[in-house]
Amino acid sequence: MKFSELNLPPNISESIVNMGYDEMTPIQEASYPVISAGQDLCALAETGSGKTAACAIPLIQKVDTTLNAIQALVIVPTRELCIQYVNDIHNVAVKTDVVPFAVYGGFSKSIQVAKLNHKVHILVATPGRLIDLMYDGAVNLSHVKCVILDEADELLKIGFLEDVEFIMSCILQKHQTLLFAATMDDDIKELVDKTLHNPRHISLIDERPSPESIEHYFEYLPSKNKEAELIRYLEEEDITQAIIFCNARYKVDTLFKNMKKDFKNIEYIHAGLSQEKRSSIYRHYRNNKVRYLIATDVAGRGLDFSNVSHVINWDFPGDGEQYTHRTGRSGRMGRKGKALTFLTKRDLPNLRSLIRKQKIAPLWIGKDPLKTDSMPKAENSRKRRRSYQPSRGRRPKREASV
């Protein structure tokens, strides 16, 4: 279905065209009539499926711009997602009088209070800063008609359940609640039971949690060979943009220090950086001024980097959910993407579970360790690099100069 078939107001329709939207994604097509009808919704969809626009377009139409009050509240788990979400709403609402705004920690509270006192119709917030502002009396939720819990599985995973329940308990009037997640577990089911009223359920992940547009490559090798293999891979693959995920900050720091000698357009990001620095790096990455980003999982949730063609797991993800969110940074909105995960011997017990639970069709660079007990020897690394061939497909192209 096309957006042009929705009979949207001309000012919103024009903005959508300018954003390059034409065909609706499955989650947009499935959720739009539910949201427009005012029903509560629990929607499960793969990362990068267009959930933000699915909410933003009907949400903006619900706002009464003659009323100077917060009428919609969006709760997200991270500052980066908060900034991205409000920017996406702004892009849709730019030709309307709807005023979106974001509040999050690490930024001047006095500036946020001043803006809230002036005019805000749609508020996007992280739970901690929102509660601070509520205690200060700077946020009035008495006119909220719709609440969106985005990346709800992450909100619970990082300990925001009590905060979310407190915020929801402060909205006493009848309102619509929309919950979006990429994964479902018992905690999410409990949150749905507590916060949603007779919700419609939409699930587009029952058969395949990982986006079908992503090819999943794996390479089994000794830890000491990983850096050389990574350099080779980045040099030989036709990469638009790549994110390289590590499991710890110190690994990000070390890898960046070593990699920047060979690659100029490379940056790193983790929670140890200031919010200003992180925002600057994200902005440069989204504007294609950075080609390679080394990151912890601070970059693994919800953020929409539309030009990411490759995701590399330098470290094996902790679980299938983490794998889904990392690799979902590529293959956004149906585009093709590649994920490469480096494996060492200690990762093998978790590999079978990952492949089974995430319904992945693995493509192997070199031997499949699940079919052999032999570990590739470190001294053969150089020979393997020179004769590298993916187990399927043609030899990757060397990257074009940037």
Q: What is the pLDDT of residues 142-196, one digit of tens each?
A: 999 999 999 888 888 778 888 999 999 999 999 999 998 877 777 888 888 889 9
Q: Is residue 56 part of a domain?
A: yes
In this prediction, residue 214 carries a pLDDT of 86
More confident residue, 242 or 331: 242
More confident residue, 318 or 122: 122
Q: Is residue 88 part of a domain?
A: yes
46 φψ region: left (φ > 0), alpha (ψ -120 to 50), beta (else): beta
Residues 102 and 223 in one domain: no
Residues 184 and 221 in one domain: no
In the predicted model, is pLDDT for residue 394 greater than 80?
no
In the predicted model, is pLDDT for residue 203 greater than 70?
yes
In the predicted model, is pLDDT for residue 92 greater than 50?
yes
* Domain boundaries, position 96: 3-203
Q: Is residue 276 part of a domain?
A: yes
Q: What's the chain's average pLDDT?
A: 85
Q: Is residue 17 part of a domain?
A: yes
* Cα distance between residue 381 and residue 385, in whole Å: 6
Last residue of a domain, one of 180, 203, 226: 203
**Secondary structure string (H, E, C) spanning the chain:** CEHHHHCCCHHHHHHHHHCCCCECCHHHHHHHHHHHCCCCEEEECCCCCCHHHHHHHHHHHHCCCCCCCCCEEEECCCHHHHHHHHHHHHHHHCCCCCCEEEECCCCCHHHHHHHHHHCCCEEEECHHHHHHHHHCCCCCCCCCCEEEECCHHHHHHCCCHHHHHHHHHCCCCCCEEEEEECCCCHHHHHHHHHHCCCCEEEECCCCCCCCCCEEEEEEECCHHHHHHHHHHHHHHCCCCCEEEECCCHHHHHHHHHHHCCCCCCEEEECCCCCHHHHHHHHHHHHCCCCCEEEECHHHCCCCCCCCCCEEEECCCCCCHHHHHHHHCCCCHHHCCEEEEEEECHHHHHHHHHHHHHCCCCEEEECCCHHHCCCCCCHHHHHHHHHCCCECCCCCCCCCCCC
Residues 68 and 120 in one domain: yes
Q: Is residue 380 part of a domain?
A: yes
Give tens-digit pLDDT for 123-149: 999 999 999 999 999 999 999 999 999
- CA 70 to each of CA 104, 117, 139, 207, 370: distance values in angstroms, whole numbers, following the listed order: 16, 11, 8, 38, 55
Domain count, the chain: 2
Query: Could you tell me which of 167, 146, 145, 143 has the C-alpha nearest to residue 155?
Result: 167
Residues 265 and 338 in one domain: yes
In this prediction, residue 349 carries a pLDDT of 85
Region 223-246: what's the mean pLDDT? 93
In the predicted model, is pLDDT for residue 208 greater than 70?
no
In the predicted model, is pLDDT for residue 377 greater than 60?
no
Region 89-98: what's the mean pLDDT? 94
In this prediction, residue 254 carries a pLDDT of 95
Last residue of a domain, one of 152, 184, 203: 203
Last residue of a domain, one of 170, 203, 236: 203
Residues 97 and 118 in one domain: yes
Q: Which of 121-125, 366-370, 391-395 has the lowest mean pLDDT?
A: 391-395
Region 358-377: what's the mean pLDDT? 75
* Cα distance between residue 325 and residue 346, in whole Å: 22
Region 349-360: what's the mean pLDDT? 85
Residues 111 and 240 in one domain: no
Q: Which of 94-103, 193-202, 267-276 has the lowest mean pLDDT?
A: 267-276
Confidence band, pLDDT 50/70/90 cuts, at residue 267: very high
Give tens-digit pLDDT for 19-72: 888 888 888 899 999 999 999 999 987 666 677 888 889 999 999 999 999 999
Q: Is residue 8 part of a domain?
A: yes
In the predicted model, is pLDDT for residue 402 greater than 50?
no
Region 98-103: what's the mean pLDDT? 97
Confidence band, pLDDT 50/70/90 cuts, at residue 273: confident
Residues 138 and 185 in one domain: yes
Q: Is residue 394 part of a domain?
A: no
Residues 146 and 251 in one domain: no
Q: Which of 168-172, 210-214, 378-382 has the lowest mean pLDDT?
A: 378-382
* Cα distance between residue 306 and residue 287, in whole Å: 10
More confident residue, 306 or 390: 306
Residues 175 and 223 in one domain: no
In this prediction, residue 191 carries a pLDDT of 87
Residues 177 and 243 in one domain: no
The crossing angle, in degrees rounded to 10, of helices 10-18 and 51-62 is 160
In this prediction, residue 382 carries a pLDDT of 40
Q: In this structure, which long-range contacts are made by residues 116-121, counting pairs with CB atoms below 8 Å and at least 24 apart in sequence?
A: 116/70, 119/68, 120/70, 121/63, 121/65, 121/69, 121/70, 121/71, 121/72
Query: Could you tell me which of 295, 192, 206 has the C-alpha nearest to residue 245?
Result: 295
In this prediction, residue 244 carries a pLDDT of 95
Backbone angles phi, psi at 220, to 5 degrees: -100, 120
Give tens-digit pLDDT for 21-31: 888 888 889 99
> Which CATH number does the domain housing residue 38 bear?
3.40.50.300
Residues 163 and 190 in one domain: yes
The percentage of residues in the chain with a pLDDT greater than 90, rounded to a whole number, is 49
Q: Is residue 402 part of a domain?
A: no
Residues 252 and 296 in one domain: yes
In this prediction, residue 326 carries a pLDDT of 85
More confident residue, 55 or 292: 292
Region 200-221: what's the mean pLDDT? 77
